[in-house]
Amino acid sequence: MFFVRSAEIVPCPFCGAPLVVVGSRPRSWYQSSGERAKLIIRRLRCELCARIHHELPDLLVPYKRYDAESIEGVLSEPARTDIAADESTLLRWKLWFLTWIVYAQGCLQSIATRFNLPVENSSVRPQSVLQSLGRFVGTADLKMS
């Protein structure tokens, strides 16, 4: 079991006020091998709006029980086939991602418009779902679908 504690001071994602530690709780997840691991994550409460937030490390995806590496492996091209998860779980991840990517593109477009940031407009249609994000975040080799 590991304890998660960030060195950064992160404000409330809703109102921007400071967060204070109010406790901790266990969080378990599955690795791509199928092995279950546990972390102790901090519970943070906003001083202004009183909402509770959990401090997750970047190896976890919020509301998912598998690590980010497993989910990324399933979504990449070619997809990894050594993930210890049911086919129905893999399909749900793909459907979740297709829904999420539309939301993410909208958020990035809104941010770019609000802050008058340059966005690369290409006349070539992206080959994959993730390549469409490249115009907002850069031109890295994105081969996920």
Q: Could you read off the pLDDT of 23-51 as tens digits, one per residue? A: 999 999 999 999 999 999 999 999 999 99
pLDDT at residue 52 in the model = 96
- Cβ burial of 43 (10 Å; 0-12, 13-18, 19+) is middle
- Percent of the chain having pLDDT more than 70? 90
List pLDDT tens digits, range 58-112.
999 999 999 999 998 998 878 888 999 999 999 999 999 999 988 988 898 898 8
How confident is the model at residue 66, as a pLDDT?
A: 96
